[in-house]
Amino acid sequence: MFGKIPLSSSTATTDVLQPVKLAKDSSSASLMDFAFIKLKCGCGLYHCELEKNPALLCHAESEEPVMNITHWTGYIDGPEETPFVGGRFYLNIDFPAAFPFKPSHIRFIRPIYHPNISTKCEIYLDILYSQWSPALSIRALLISLCSLLIDPNVEYGLNRNALKLYQIDKQKYEEIARE
């Protein structure tokens, strides 16, 4: 499932980005065309970056790179010295039509007991909301999620029970999070 993403929608064997056809009148290229190009280029850059410097704890890619590059699946391995060590936590990543001007929507597939992850698997990470920048890469998002697992943001809790326990009894919190 986690192989190399083809960089061309016409063939799965090429390693060269192919030009993308825009609307007939290129001066009226839509935001959707731009978003598609940005996402397609982002796929290529992400995989070039991975080959040079592979991320040890996280990975993501399009489930159907030729048909639908707007929905990705990824994972984060539980970081050392956290209650999540030894676990692999899968993510759904959806890119909106306005990407990169709007952030991707990332959710864990299964609940994780963490102050910044809701019981509905939603994630609070400032760069997915108020601190979003079109310059952020997919890799940066994944690394930020790894950091969030290591060091929860106690100012913005989505899981109030986990947040309260983390603040008053960290040992008990870690015990529950390991389960």
Average pLDDT of the chain, as a whole number: 76
> What is the pTM assigned to this prediction?
0.69
Per-residue model confidence (pLDDT) at position 70: 83
66-75 pLDDT, tens digit each: 567 788 888 9
The residue assigned the tokens 């913005």 is 156
Q: What order do you get walking across the sheet with 58-64 strand by strand?
A: 58-64, 68-77, 88-94, 105-108
Weakest mean pLDDT among 6-10, 118-122, 151-155: 6-10
Domains with residue ranges and CATH for the chain: 26-178 (3.10.110.10)
Weakest mean pLDDT among 8-17, 46-55, 56-65: 8-17
Torsion of CA 117, 118, 123, 124, to 10 degrees: -90
Token pair listed for 29: 């290229």
CA distance 74 to 93: 7
